[in-house]
């Protein structure tokens, strides 16, 4: 079971550039959407199975958020390029800065035995879920050529930004609190 859980995490890491290529090079939005939904589901299942079978590990705790960051990074880049969107680029850029900042904080806290400061919070899990829904809406909008879905995606992206910045601020405060 442990190998299957690890496979689910690695799947997100390896599928991210494939999705990027499907979007930016081939306009295969349906395939990209299908693979992205599988990747999103794998994020849910790897954590659920690890908890259910008590197979949570330090490596899993490190790799899972990295896999999410890789997937989010490739999707933000692909969508901002494909839609030639400054809006997605700017908001996506802020989201990516936060993602890498929190990664640096996790490294900092690990070195200072303060892992609790950047332990994944419920709000952070909600952030990832909203980001994944946002990308699902964007890909659905591209696939169906729906301006309405793309507009809804822009609203979700702004909501994702607010929650992303809030969790980044919370992790920063917790990391430097004495």
Nearest to 67 by CA among 136, 113, 132: 132
Neighbours of 162 (CB within 10 A): 11
Per-residue pLDDT, averaged over 10-38, amounts to 98
Q: Are 16 and 39 in contact (CB under 8 A)?
A: yes
Per-residue pLDDT, averaged over 34-46, amounts to 97
Does 27 or 115 have the greater pLDDT score? 27
Q: What is the pLDDT of residue 29?
A: 98
CATH class of residue range 2-176: mainly alpha
Q: What is the pLDDT of residue 94?
A: 98
pTM: 0.94
Per-residue pLDDT, averaged over 154-174, amounts to 98
pLDDT band at residue 61, thresholds of 50, 70 and 90? confident
Distance from C-alpha of 94 to C-alpha of 91, rounded to nearest angstrom: 5
* Domain boundary assignment for the chain: 2-176
- pLDDT per residue over 141-153, tens digit each? 999 999 999 999 9
Q: Are 51 and 5 in contact (CB under 8 A)?
A: no
Does 116 or 14 have the greater pLDDT score? 14
Mean pLDDT (the chain, rounded) = 95
Does 91 or 110 have the greater pLDDT score? 91
| pLDDT value at 168 more than 80 | yes
Helix, strand, coil proportions of the chain in percent (round to 5)?
Answer: 85, 0, 15
| pLDDT value at 133 more than 90 | yes
Q: Sign of torsion, CA 35 36 42 48?
A: negative
Distance from C-alpha of 95 to C-alpha of 134, rounded to nearest angstrom: 13
């Amino acid at each position: 079971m442990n190998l299957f859980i690890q496979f689910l995490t690695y799947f997100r890491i390896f599928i991210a550039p494939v999705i990027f290529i499907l979007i930016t090079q081939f306009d295969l939005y349906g395939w990209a959407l299908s693979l992205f939904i599988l990747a999103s589901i794998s994020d849910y299942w790897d954590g659920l199975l690890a908890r259910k079978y008590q197979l949570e590990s330090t490596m899993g705790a490190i790799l899972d958020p990295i896999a999410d960051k890789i997937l989010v990074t490739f999707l933000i880049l692909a969508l901002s390029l494909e839609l030639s969107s400054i809006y997605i680029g700017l908001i996506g850029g802020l989201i990516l800065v936060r993602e890498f900042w929190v990664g640096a904080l996790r490294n900092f806290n690990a070195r200072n035995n303060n892992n609790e400061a950047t332990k994944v919070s419920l709000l952070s899990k909600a952030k990832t879920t909203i980001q994944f829904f946002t990308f699902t809406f964007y890909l659905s909008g591209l696939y169906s050529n729906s301006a309405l879905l793309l507009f809804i995606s822009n609203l979700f992206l702004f909501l994702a930004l607010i929650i992303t910045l809030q969790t980044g601020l919370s992790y920063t405060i917790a990391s430097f609190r004495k």
